[in-house]
Amino acid sequence: QVQLEQSGTEVKRPGASVKVSCRASGYRFASYGITWVRQAPGQGLEWMGWISGYDAKTHYAQNLQGRLTMTTDTSTDTAYMEVRSLRSDDTAVYYCARDRVYDGSLYYYMDVWGKGTTVTVSS
């Protein structure tokens, strides 16, 4: 069945970097993209960005520009999300979700989600 498997819990110091993986299975990776969403403790959902599984084109949230990089590895059907210069307010659960393949293709929706990766930033 269609699944997104995320990497495990991370604990980082302020100023460090974290890289979270999201491995897809059960579908053709290059036919979809991946959206990343995070949720700080007790807070709502925040869209972080999107990457195409076809050509690795990206769109990032303005407030994370310069600290965020999304990549894909088509040999392992895995998407990665890296946040640099971590701060305490980056503490959150990070989710990946299957999404559109091209930035102009509106007929896709986030129908499959990973279980989430907890990232804690603390000194």
Partner 1 sequence: DIVMTQTPLSLPVTPGEPATISCRSSQSLLGRDDGNVYLDWFLQKPGQSPQLLIYTLSHRASGVPDRFSGTGEVTDFTLHISRVEAEDVGLYYCMQRIEFPYTFGQGTRLEIK
Residues 93, 52: Cα–Cα separation, whole Å: 22
Site string for partner 1, 17-56 (x = CB under 8 A): ------------------x-x------xxxx--x------
Q: What amino acid occupies position 26?
A: G
Q: What 8-state DSSP symbol labels residue 29? A: G
Let me know if 42 is exposed, middle or buried by CB neighbors in 10 A (0-12, 13-18, 19+): exposed
- Among 9, 11, 111, 122, interactor with partner 1 by CB under 8 A: 111
- Among 62, 75, 89, 123, interactor with partner 1 by CB under 8 A: 62
Q: Does 83 bind partner 1 (CB under 8 A)?
A: no
DSSP per-residue codes, 45-70: -EEEEEEETTT--EEE-GGGTTTEEE
Give the residue with the Cβ less far from partner 1, 107 or 123.
107
Q: Does 68 bind partner 1 (CB under 8 A)?
A: no
Q: What are the residues binding partner 1 (CB under 8 A)?
A: 35, 37, 44-47, 50, 59, 61-62, 95, 97, 100, 103, 106, 109-111, 113-116
